[in-house]
Structure 1
Amino acid sequence: MQATLHNPQETKTCAPVTDGRKLGNCLIANHKLKDLISNELRAVGFDVIPNEMATPRTVHLPVDHWIDVGALCLLARSDSPVCLKDKSGDLVAWVGANTPEECGGEVVTEADCFRIHYPWSLLELNEEVLGMMEGSQIAGDISPLAQVDGHLHLGVGSKILPGVVIEGNVIIGENCRIGPNAYIRGNTSIGDHCEIGNAVEIKNSIIYPYSKIKHLSYVGDSVLGSHVMLGAGTILANYRHDGTNHRSLVGGKLLDTGRIKFGAVLGDGVRTGVNTCVYPGRKIGPGRMTRPNSVVDRDLMNGVPGKGGVVPEARARLSADFNYNI
């Protein structure tokens, strides 16, 4: 069996995580999404090949769906060009043609799957993948005065300092410094070269590499890009007073996220001033900054270089690391 991965046609709905980054390169459990899907396919016997090497028997997958690979095994046996769709009508995969438009048939799958269409979908997938973790893998150093309850993957060169408490399934990358007295819980992934300061609490979140969360801050059910720096006392709130689902503005429309707990989504290079409070469900675009004691009650997605919106140092760093043009 063969499979090939395609970039989805629409990625703007996952902004600001996909501003300057393809969806397949977004991180889930510290792995690129496209690598995670490829590994799942190989585990059940697929050869993952480039698009140009596809044959009429090759299964084609856009990387914006997470699906039980057993359904793809059945699709691979089809003798005619056919599209596989989920119960909502979204395209999941196809076989027998170069494009889905060339397929003459259509099959609806009952397999567990969901579309990775919005930033909160990344959180959902991160929760699912980390929820399947079995056992701990410790390559760094853990203070005897720290406490770990659950499964922990700790990268080479990383240090867990005294007073740190970790609960749940957590992945921490290489060369990170955690604590002292930090609290990390839920299904949380922290990328390489991150710093989590004194008395910081992180719950059920995705933190990209090279980000720093300074002391006395709270990050709940949030996604933080690379080179983000949260000033001391920054709060990324994740719960509405009325206990209802969070809504988030996408394409000018307020969408129900389906989540009672949902924090903020911060693009690469964001910096917050000390004591910044970010309302639940808000998004801050790449390179944006806030002043001390700011309250972010609406999305901040369009920075203006040189006008206080985008940090100049962040702009230079993003341009060098990710080929941004901001």
Structure 2
Amino acid sequence: MRSAENLLGDEMMALLPAALHHCLTEPKWWEDELQGLHVVRALTALALPADCDGYRLVDNPPSPRWDWQGHALVHQSSLLHTGVNLFGPVLIGPDCEIGPNASIFGPTVIEGRSYLGPSVEIRRCLLLAQAEVSHMSFLGHSVIGRRAALGAFFCSAVRNLRRGTVHVIRDGTLADTGERRLGCVIADDVETGVRTTVMPGRRITETPATPPNSLIMKNC
């Protein structure tokens, strides 16, 4: 199976951490049960250049309630509607559309041909090519696959209030990640029904679609 198409460009791909590069180039990037954890940790090291061919720089207002500060790079072919807010290092690839009043908190990478609906909120995520997140959704500390389509009011829970840190399921048992915030992993081509909620650290990699109002407690 051949590697995925490089939409971000060679110059930008060379700057990305290895875990992100793996997801962007490998067809079945989700096979490692800890891949989501690796990506979220790698995003913390995301450092965008002041300029890159084909991208425009967007200065971001500082957020005192967010750990990561910096500027955004948005591909010249991508469309940001009125009211879009970018905080910290955010990379938006080619032919993306970001709907009105969406908020994206970096470090976040959105690969090409992706769509965020109105009033979507994204925090420290990797969205692969042609991912779609419908209106009024929250996605945090997560990895979303190619052509995945998240229905309206999707929510990735990111905190385990009982344990304090998020646990993932590895080889059938719970493993402590040590992370206080960790979202979900959704594989390529998965669709979620309206108002789907995924619990922290869970993965949707074998189920092609979830019904409306789903609560995902286990890997599926």
Regarding TM over 0.5, the answer is yes
Q: Which amino acid aligns with 1:295?
A: L
| Residue number in structure 1 paired with 2:101 | 181
Unaligned runs of 5+ in 1: 1-19, 41-62, 65-115, 301-326
Q: How does 1:118-129 map to 2 (within 5 A)?
A: 118-128=35-45
Please give the residue correspondences for 1:46-57 in structure 2 after superposition, counting only pairs within 5 Å: none
1:162–1:141 Cα change, 3 Å: farther
Q: Does 1:135 align with 2:50?
A: yes
Structure 1 position 147, deviation (Å): 7.7
Higher relative contact order (CA 8 A, sep 6+): 2
Say whether 1:256 aligns with 2:176: yes
User: Which AA in structure 1 matches 2:60?
Assistant: V
Code of the residue aligned with 2:50 in structure 1: it is G
CA distance in 2, matches of 1:147, 1:183: 14
* CA deviation after TM superposition for structure 1 residue 240, in Å: 1.6
Using the size of structure 1 for normalisation, the TM-score is 0.54
Residues 179 and 141 of structure 1: CA distance in aligned 2, closer, same or farther (over 3 Å): farther
The 3-state SS of whatever aligns with 1:148 is coil
1:31-46 alignment runs, 5 A limit: 36=14
Q: CA deviation at 1:196?
A: 0.5
Q: Distance in 1 between matches of 2:178 and 2:140?
A: 16
Of 161, 186, 192, the residue aligned with 1:241 is 161
Aligned residues: 198
Deviation at 1:166, TM superposition (A): 0.4
Give the 5 Å matches for 1:29-108.
Answer: 36=14
Higher alpha-carbon Rg: 1
Question: Could you say which residue in structure 2 is the equivalent of 1:207?
Answer: 127
> In 2, distance between residues paired with 1:136 and 1:159?
18
Structure 1 equivalent of residue 28 of structure 2:
none
- Alpha-carbon separation, structure 1, partners of 2:34 and 2:158: 20
Cα distance in 1, alignment partners of residues 133 and 34 from structure 2: 27
1:148 aligns with 2:65: no
Question: Larger helix proportion, structure 1 or 2?
Answer: 1
